[in-house]
Amino acid sequence: MIKSLDEYDQILLIERLFSKKNIKYDALMEILERKSSNVIIQLLDGDRVLGRDHIIFAVLNALKGKKNNKMISEDLPMEILVYASAQRQINKSIEILGVRKNSHRVVLVALSKSEKKLYDLLESISKMQDLSINNSSFNMWNGEMAETIKIIFKISNSEFESAKRKNYSDKKIFEELIIEKMALLALS
């Protein structure tokens, strides 16, 4: 998904990537950065990102922090991770949403002023062996994921129950609660 963020003069790319093998974060980042100059890239654990709204909200908060010189971290990719994890502590953010050694799914977040550069990045990814774009996994949801999300984002049963709304899936409720935590992080 490519989305224009006009207020920040940036274009955002969000894609879920899948590999049959364990994804090696450092090696993949090196390849992506080499193939995409002037593109800001962050990779997040694909099993712990609830959806595109989760990432869009994190990116918007990170860009706003940068624009207002109120960043929590020192660089924009890390700021995106900090907001997506709804944590102030960088080490805790990495623990929550950093790519783990046994990860097979990651979420690629890329920012550029050039839409063409983002499409070039996608083309480069499509040519990579053992890596594919698989956005259908944004729709994955099960009880085990719910329990993991509750634990890592510290969402209590009562908090979840009080946020329930008609016609909202459990996944959407969790995503709304995480977005709320990100909003509180931006205010603190």
Assign 42 to helix, strand or coil.
strand
Judged on CB neighbours under 10 Å (0-12, 13-18, 19+), 158 is: exposed
pTM above 0.85, yes or no: yes
Q: What angle do CA 110, 105, 129 make, to 5 degrees?
A: 80
For the domain bounded by 2-139, which CATH number is listed?
A: 3.30.2380.10
The pLDDT value given to residue 142: 83
In tens digits, what is the pLDDT along the chain, a chain of 188 residues? Answer: 999 999 999 999 999 999 999 999 999 999 999 988 899 999 999 989 988 999 999 999 999 999 999 999 999 999 999 999 999 999 999 999 999 998 999 999 999 999 999 999 999 999 998 899 988 777 778 888 899 999 999 999 999 999 988 788 899 999 999 999 999 988 87
Tokens of 135: 């956005």
The pLDDT value given to residue 136: 79
The pLDDT value given to residue 139: 77
Assign 11 to helix, strand or coil.
strand
Give the separation between CA 2 and CA 96, rounded to whole angstroms: 25
CB 69 within 8 A of CB 63: no
